[in-house]
Structure 1
Amino acid sequence: MCDLSVRWVQRLFFGVLGVLSLGLGSAQAQVGAPSADANEVYAAAQRWLDSSLAQQSGDLPLRMEVVVGQLDRRLNLAPCQQVEPYLPPNVRLWGRARLGLRCVQGSIKWNVFLPITVKAMGPAWVVKGQVPAGTVLTASDAMTMEVDWAENRNAIVANQADWVGKTATRLLSTGQALRQDMVKAAQVFQTGAQVRVVATGPGFQISGRAQALSVGVVGQSAMVKMANGQVVTGTVSDERTVQVAL
């Protein structure tokens, strides 16, 4: 499994728009009408998208696919010598999206939206069997399979170390790809528990006992009360240890 930044992959698609304009700029027919010219516009869009993604994806562990939808056949758009694609505000080229098409050179200016679906097929961890909410996940709870990373807006948990030992936030079912909203760090101690505090400073490290004033979740902050009554905040590193930076 490769550690891949999903945001980096999403940025990849924005460079496609400039290339796509080359395929659409020569359209001179009524784009919304069910004609051979309209079909060529769709085909050109698909070809340019596929070609651009193939050239730019390189060695990424994702196989990019773009499915171009259909404009409303009831549209009867005026002839246009140059169609310009653009990305509408708050729309990402990831999963189900839409591409704006506007006529910038024609007797009548128009603006329509073309539905598209961007798929990012790649390896992910997929749940085996039913995992009840609150269960601490083990390595046997999931296996690797190819899934569509872009099917859901929540990011895939790509590395096994990022979910083993964490808790399921809800019921997980067979075939679900593990995503960040499905797991959370496990609570390892309760308020009032006795814990070990390790304080680290420039060139030194000291440790001592303390009482937890809040629950402990690995990777998150917790308040503890030292034997001398001092209250400090540190980061929970395991079920018995709180790290404090001085």
Structure 2
Amino acid sequence: MLRIVLLFVCLFAAGAPRAQTVLDPALVERVRVLAETAASATAPPNTRVAVEIGALDPRLRLAPCRQVQPYLPPGMAVWGRSRIGLRCTDGTARWNVTLPVRVAVFGRAVVASGPLPAGVSLSQDQLALADIDIAADPGAVFTDPALLIGRTLARPLAAAEAVRAPALKSRQWFAAGETVQVLAVGPGFAVAAEAQAMSAGLEGQEVRVRFESGRVASGRAVAERRVELSL
């Protein structure tokens, strides 16, 4: 009985379709176009997008498929290291996998002209412009060195490393108790009023303010003594 089972298994394995781990060149090109189109839609002007296609996991055992559809998985990043979905829509068995890709976005940005320690106050001679992959790391880059003069580094930077927003210390726009201008923004309108800050206003962070009527609201510190509320 054991010999019969082993013979059946060997015959089944010999006749089974081989795993589809090598992608058709036409499918690879469709994946490249999809990734480039998605990245270009959000890339700044005067940048260049380049896509590097990875390989399927060799441990996958995919049934042969006559029609494979590439797609962008919901919530997946379109810059940097990401994944493109592949689903079989016409085959002996339906399957759905993801393919690794790396999307580079090359553009001109501000970089450190030399090694810079944490805590340094940036000056013009410490900054330079260079063509870099702005998608290589998280965080917004800057294209105008003048916007960074006087800003303080929160962490050290290597020479030629991009100066990104997370590397900068948050600015304090106002102190608790100061009078601030509050701009309430809604669909098709904007209303300005004065209020008292209930805490220090750090750049981009939420802060509570109290209006003369006693009403308390939460907004975002956006500039010197300025708070923005979204309605």
Matched AA of 1:133 = A
1:33 corresponds to 2:21: yes
Matched AA of 1:45 = R
1:101 corresponds to 2:86: yes
Query: Could you tell me which residue of structure 2 aligns to residue 111 of structure 1?
Result: 96
SS in structure 2 opposite 1:92?
A: coil
Correspondence 1:166-245 to 2 at 5 A: 166-185=151-170, 237=224
Seen in structure 2, the aligned counterparts of structure 1 residues 114 and 171 have a Cα distance that, compared at 3 Å, is: same
Count of equivalent residues: 181
Matched AA of 1:62 = T
Query: Using the alignment, how far apart are the partners of 1:182 and 1:103 within structure 2?
Result: 43
Seen in structure 2, the aligned counterparts of structure 1 residues 92 and 147 have a Cα distance that, compared at 3 Å, is: same
Query: Using the alignment, how far apart are the partners of 1:89 and 1:243 within structure 2?
Result: 35
Query: Using the alignment, how far apart are the partners of 2:152 and 2:100 within structure 1?
Result: 37
Contact 1:32 1:74 in 2 (8 A): no
TM-score normalized by the length of structure 2: 0.61
Contact 2:112 2:162 in 1 (8 A): yes
Query: Could you tell me which residue of structure 1 aligns to residue 107 of structure 2?
Result: 122
Query: Using the alignment, how far apart are the partners of 2:20 and 2:136 within structure 1?
Result: 28
TM-score normalized by the length of structure 1: 0.58
Decide which of 119, 136, 141 is 1:134's aligned counterpart: 119
Query: Using the alignment, how far apart are the partners of 2:28 and 2:222 within structure 1?
Result: 55
1:84 corresponds to 2:69: yes
Decide which of 118, 135, 143 is 1:158's aligned counterpart: 143
Q: Structure 1 residue 169: deviation in Å?
A: 0.9
Instruction: Please give the root-mean-square deviation of Cα atoms over the aligned residues, in Å.
Output: 4.1
Seen in structure 2, the aligned counterparts of structure 1 residues 163 and 32 have a Cα distance that, compared at 3 Å, is: farther
Correspondence 1:42-61 to 2 at 5 A: 42-45=27-30, 48-49=33-34, 52=37, 60-61=45-46
Query: Could you tell me which residue of structure 2 aligns to residue 70 of structure 1?
Result: 55
Q: Deviations over 1:98-152 (max 9, x none)?
A: 0110111222001111000110001011102222222111111111111001111
**Runs of 4+ that moved beyond 4 A:** 49-59, 185-191, 213-221, 234-237
Contact 2:153 2:167 in 1 (8 A): yes
Query: Using the alignment, how far apart are the partners of 2:82 and 2:20 within structure 1?
Result: 19
Query: Using the alignment, how far apart are the partners of 1:89 and 1:57 within structure 2?
Result: 16
SS in structure 1 opposite 2:135?
A: helix
Identity of aligned residues (%): 35
Query: Using the alignment, how far apart are the partners of 1:236 and 1:59 within structure 2?
Result: 24
Seen in structure 2, the aligned counterparts of structure 1 residues 30 and 39 have a Cα distance that, compared at 3 Å, is: farther
Q: Structure 1 residue 161: deviation in Å?
A: 3.0
Query: Could you tell me which residue of structure 2 aligns to residue 23 of structure 1?
Result: none
Could you list the runs of 5+ residues in structure 1 that have no partner in the other structure?
Answer: 1-28, 192-196, 200-212, 224-233
